[in-house]
Amino acid sequence: MPKARVQKDDPRPYHHGRLREAAIEAAIAEIQAVGAAGVRMREIARRAGVSHAALAYQFGDKAGLFTAIATEGFRLATDAIQPAANGPDGFLRGGTAYVMFALAHPAHYEVMFRPDLYRTDDPELTAARDAAFDLLYGSARAAVGNDDADVTGLVVAGWSLSHGLATLWLTNNLKGRVAEDPARVVQQLNEGIIALGRLTHLGQGGTATDA
């Protein structure tokens, strides 16, 4: 009788000891290569060394995978920003840490602020996102007190500036226009904020003309 054929291990096993971690790592690499819009689940499975079925079983679909990436991103952002966002100047230092986080984790950053890509009502995502924004609002309150209007205005202004700087940097729109050291660019941004504040003050006083 012929010997029974021994099936070799599948190079892309359905079960994987670190399937979730490997899939997220593969997705991050794929986002950095082609952008979030170009991500394909089968290519992520290939990068992770797992079957497409295993990936689907773990995350359901691409939205599920992006949800996991966004959740991890908000947690990483909180961990990166929290040490800086303390004391009366914590809001400014937290803004610098925000930019540095974005430059260090561009794929996470791209997904985190694209709610059309993931499930915004996922409980783990909601908790991670709320923790990040609690940190943002807490550092703003430490800077200006508990007046809701002042806190909201500061949060919107500071977040917009830091987010805008990080986005412009990551999309190469600042290349050749600013210093290559992001820390120096953040300092220039802070100096620009002071100048912008002066202009805003003059404008509100009616002593400046539109330019």
17-19-20 Cα angle (round to 5): 125
Q: How confident is the model at residue 180 (pLDDT cuts 50, 70, 90)?
A: confident
Provide the whole-model pTM.
Answer: 0.84
Please write the tens of the pLDDT for every residue from 110-167: 999 999 999 999 999 999 999 999 999 999 999 998 888 899 999 999 999 999 999 9
Domain residues of the chain, as ranges?
Answer: 11-60, 69-204
Q: What is the DSSP letter of 61?
A: S
Is a pLDDT exceeding 80 seen at residue 209?
Answer: no
Say if CB 74 and CB 131 are below 8 A apart: yes
Tell me whether residue 31 is exposed, middle or buried, using C-beta atoms within 10 angstroms of its C-beta: 0 to 12, 13 to 18, 19 or more.
Answer: buried
Please state, in angstroms and rounded to a whole number, the distance separating the CA atoms of residues 42 and 137: 40
Query: Is the pLDDT higher at 180 or at 109?
Result: 109
**102 near 166, Cβ under 8 Å?**
yes
Chain segment 78-120, per-residue pLDDT in tens: 999 999 999 888 999 999 999 999 999 999 999 999 999 999 9
Convert the pLDDT of each residue in 21-62 to its tens digit. Answer: 999 999 999 999 999 999 999 999 999 999 999 999 999 999
What pLDDT does 6 receive? 35
Distance CA 163, CA 169 (A): 10
Mean pLDDT of the residues in the chain: 88
Tokens of 197: 């504040």
Helix %, strand %, coil % of the chain (to 5): 70, 0, 30
pLDDT of residue 133: 97
Return the pLDDT at 193: 83
Of 106, 29, 26, the closest CA to residue 58 belongs to: 26
Kindly tell me if the per-residue pLDDT of 7 is higher than 50.
no
Q: Assign residue 49 a region (left: φ > 0; alpha: ψ between -120 and 50; beta: otherwise).
A: left
69-204: CATH number: 1.10.357.10
Architecture of domain 11-60 in this structure: Orthogonal Bundle (1.10)
